């Protein structure tokens, strides 16, 4: 374990942490060091800037050394601190939930663009940390949302995050297999299901493969198992003019459009900031 003397100043500890992480091959060493120093010492970025000469102290030195050892071993910062930001909001994490990723904000943006005034009823399938549901409820103050997940641990985390962000009175959480336990109608249904082909998971980065829950990653032999189930269940739940939005992998656009058409849904693509296909927006076609 990296030794941090208690008399080390906050600023010196941040510099030492950045050097140690860089030497371990961490690409975001400077950013990670700042976050871990602040978390270990229980301080803010302002505290670090204005009172950087203060010593870290024995307890802070011990926590920081532990955090740095974990980060150097490949554990993501979000897992170490047990929280992450999404849509500008704070979210607690648990072993049963994915770390919210910036690409998923494309799903939130797409939903808001469809319903700027907000839906009456919203469902989030495979809610995990609840980040998508909570983000949408903060933007749609008159909406009520249901978050569904197979993992009771994930549901506890999502419920806590709804309370943390002030939307618990407009959110309910249900254990079940995708939409099987739901009764419509819903104006908007969203999902970020597992979409990585089973054989590919072993080749993912260690930060994902070793720390994200496999249940939230494994999409079956071709990565499409969850989509097939969702598309078989959701159309009956959509209100007239309702929409189903799902996040996809970069190479799944054509397959999802075929699956949507087979269920009588039209499909439009939304791209993320890198220009990759990221979200499929589906709507019931006339006569379906």
Q: Can you give the pLDDT at residue 138? A: 97
- The mean per-residue pLDDT over the stretch 18-28 comes to 95
| Tally of residues, the chain | 288
pLDDT digits (tens, 9 = 90+) for 170-229: 999 999 989 988 988 999 999 999 999 999 999 999 889 999 999 999 999 999 999 999
Q: Can you give the pLDDT at residue 284? A: 80
Q: Can you give the pLDDT at residue 184? A: 80
- The mean per-residue pLDDT over the stretch 273-283 comes to 94
Q: Which of 81-85, 91-95, 116-120, 159-163 has the lowest mean pLDDT?
A: 116-120
Q: Can you give the pLDDT at residue 285? A: 67
**CA–CA separation, 124 and 134 (whole Å):** 10
Q: Can you give the pLDDT at residue 189? A: 97
Strand partners, 190: 124, 245
**CA–CA separation, 274 and 86 (whole Å):** 18
User: pTM of the full predicted structure?
Assistant: 0.93
């Amino acid at each position: 374990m990296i030794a941090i003397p208690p008399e080390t100043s906050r600023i010196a500890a941040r510099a030492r942490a950045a050097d140690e992480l860089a030497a371990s091959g961490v690409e975001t060493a400077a950013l990670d060091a700042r976050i871990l120093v602040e978390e270990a010492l229980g301080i803010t970025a302002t505290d670090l800037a204005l009172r950087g000469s203060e010593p870290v102290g024995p307890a802070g030195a011990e926590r920081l050394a532990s955090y740095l050892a974990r980060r150097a071993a490949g554990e993501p910062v979000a897992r170490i601190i047990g929280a992450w930001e999404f849509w500008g909001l704070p979210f607690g994490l648990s072993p049963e939930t994915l770390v919210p990723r910036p690409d998923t904000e494309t799903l939130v943006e797409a939903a808001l663009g469809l319903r700027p005034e907000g839906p009456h009823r919203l469902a989030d399938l495979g809610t995990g940390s609840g980040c998508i549901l909570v983000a949408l409820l903060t933007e749609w103050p008159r909406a009520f949302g249901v978050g569904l997940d197979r993992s009771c641990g994930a549901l506890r985390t999502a419920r806590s995050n709804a309370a943390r962000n002030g939307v618990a009175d407009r959110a309910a959480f249900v254990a079940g297999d995708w939409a099987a336990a739901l009764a419509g109608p819903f104006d908007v249904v969203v999902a970020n299901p597992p979409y990585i082909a089973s054989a590919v998971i072993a080749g993912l980065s260690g930060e994902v493969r070793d720390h994200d829950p496999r249940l939230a990653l494994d999409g079956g032999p071709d990565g499409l198992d969850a989509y097939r189930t969702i598309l078989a269940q959701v159309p009956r739940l959509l209100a007239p003019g309702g929409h189903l939005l799902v996040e996809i992998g970069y190479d799944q656009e054509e397959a999802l459009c075929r699956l949507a058409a087979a269920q009588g849904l039209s499909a439009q693509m939304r791209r993320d900031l890198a220009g990759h296909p990221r979200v499929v927006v589906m709507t019931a076609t006339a006569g379906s």
